[in-house]
A = this chain, B = another copy of it.
């Protein structure tokens, strides 16, 4: 079961002994430090190879203050499996793969939104990882800034705009996403367009709403507040939101822009439950381009965002920050594009 004792761990001491040098010399040789005779270095390397030596990263970390571990922090409601958005899973996989390829380790930390400050600060102070990638935080900017100021390890915040100059971020052009989605609906003849995804204080929601409004303004469509419905960006909020929408508005909209794809999935459920059909009664567009949208009851038109690339950039950025050679801009904003399927009808 667990043959913990079977095999003695090989340490640098044994390597040094086999190579016939001091431990410090072995260390210098293995780390390619200047001032080690080539032949000595070779001897040490061969000994290490022969013994199958792998340095203990924590012993290294203790002295170098670098253990090559990076935490991906996921915050969400305090229920068992709160990360239900496949878009975030793409990011997680992309970050992990990129880190692993560069000899870094990825840690996953799932924390409750309601104790985010405490959990993040504790995580950083524990020194368990060398950097933080905040993937799903919704903490307001000012509080998040306070949190990140408190901690002493590098961090990068994903998919949030509007953070202050000192906080590294990689995000989407969320306003443009909202604009593109809404404009596409308008181009298809829609004028009564609802937005399900209002979430005050949360950057992506506010920006997507701003893009929605901008597209409306450009098309001379009057803004109707009854067409703007709150949603928390989890699936059920789409279902609840569309019910609320159909109940509260005086003129039923002909199209809905859902804040993201899983909200759109909820909207789809709600529309079916109401006995309406997409896109004949209501057109629908989402955001994210999660997998298999083409296999849905109605294949969903959406705004596709480059989550894999975003994760890759995030991984490279934190590695650079840790190693002190990060050359990338403090803020990166990535562009999205529409992926047309058949949930929007031209009217």
Which residues of A approach B to under 8 Å, CB–CB? 1-7, 9, 52, 54, 56-59, 61-62, 67, 69, 80-81, 83-84, 86, 89-90, 92-94, 96-97, 100, 105-111, 122, 125-128, 149-150, 152-154, 166, 168, 265, 268-269, 291-292, 294-297, 308, 321, 330
Which of chain B's residues have a CB closer than 8 A to the CB of A81? 90, 93-94, 97, 308
Tell me whether A58 and B54 are in contact in the complex, defined as CB-CB below 8 angstroms, given that A100-B111, A291-B84 are known contacts.
no
**How many Å lie between the Cα of A152 and that of B3 in the bound state?**
5
13 A-B pairs with CB atoms under 8 Å apart are A2-B152, A3-B149, A5-B152, A6-B152, A9-B152, A54-B122, A58-B59, A80-B308, A83-B93, A96-B110, A105-B109, A106-B107, A296-B296
User: Shortest CB–CB separation between residue A85 and chain B, in angstroms?
Assistant: 10
Which of chain B's residues have a CB closer than 8 A to the CB of A168? 1
Which of chain B's residues have a CB closer than 8 A to the CB of A154? 1-2, 4
**How many Å lie between the Cα of A69 and that of B100 in the bound state?**
16
Output the nearest chain B residue to A56 by Cβ-Cβ distance. Answer: B127
Which of chain B's residues have a CB closer than 8 A to the CB of A1? 154, 166, 168, 321, 330
Which of chain B's residues have a CB closer than 8 A to the CB of A69? 107, 128
Output the nearest chain B residue to A166 by Cβ-Cβ distance. Answer: B1
Is A58 touching B52 in the complex (CB atoms < 8 A)?
Answer: no
**How many Å lie between the Cα of A171 and that of B294 in the bound state?**
32
Question: Out of B52, B58, B108, which one reaches A92, CB within 8 Å?
Answer: B108
Output the nearest chain B residue to A90 by Cβ-Cβ distance. Answer: B81
Which of chain B's residues have a CB closer than 8 A to the CB of A111? 100
Chain A facing B: main interface SS:
mixed
Tell me whether A105 and B107 are in contact in the complex, defined as CB-CB below 8 angstroms, given that A54-B126, A321-B2 are known contacts.
yes
**How many Å lie between the Cα of A292 and that of B297 in the bound state?**
11
User: Shortest CB–CB separation between residue A74 and chain B, in angstroms?
Assistant: 8
* This protein's copies in its complex: 2
Give 14 new A-B contacts, CB below 8 A, not counting A2-B154, A86-B86, A89-B89: A2-B321, A5-B152, A54-B125, A58-B62, A81-B93, A81-B94, A83-B93, A84-B291, A96-B110, A100-B111, A106-B109, A108-B108, A265-B295, A295-B296
Is B108 touching A106 in the complex (CB atoms < 8 A)?
Answer: yes
User: Shortest CB–CB separation between residue A277 and chain B, in angstroms?
Assistant: 14
**How many Å lie between the Cα of A94 and that of B128 in the bound state?**
21
Output the nearest chain B residue to A96 by Cβ-Cβ distance. Answer: B108
Is A295 touching B269 in the complex (CB atoms < 8 A)?
Answer: yes
Which of chain B's residues have a CB closer than 8 A to the CB of A57? 126-128
User: Shortest CB–CB separation between residue A110 and chain B, in angstroms?
Assistant: 5
A93, A109, A330 pick with most chain B CB within 10 angstroms: A93
Output the nearest chain B residue to A84 by Cβ-Cβ distance. Answer: B291
User: Shortest CB–CB separation between residue A171 and chain B, in angstroms?
Assistant: 17
Tell me whether A110 and B93 are in contact in the complex, defined as CB-CB below 8 angstroms, given that A1-B321, A152-B3 are known contacts.
yes
**How many Å lie between the Cα of A86 and that of B153 in the bound state?**
32
Is A153 touching B295 in the complex (CB atoms < 8 A)?
Answer: no
Is A62 touching B56 in the complex (CB atoms < 8 A)?
Answer: yes
Output the nearest chain B residue to A95 by Cβ-Cβ distance. Answer: B108
**How many Å lie between the Cα of A150 and that of B154 in the bound state?**
37
Is B4 touching A125 in the complex (CB atoms < 8 A)?
Answer: no
User: Shortest CB–CB separation between residue A145 and chain B, in angstroms?
Assistant: 13
Which of chain B's residues have a CB closer than 8 A to the CB of A83? 93
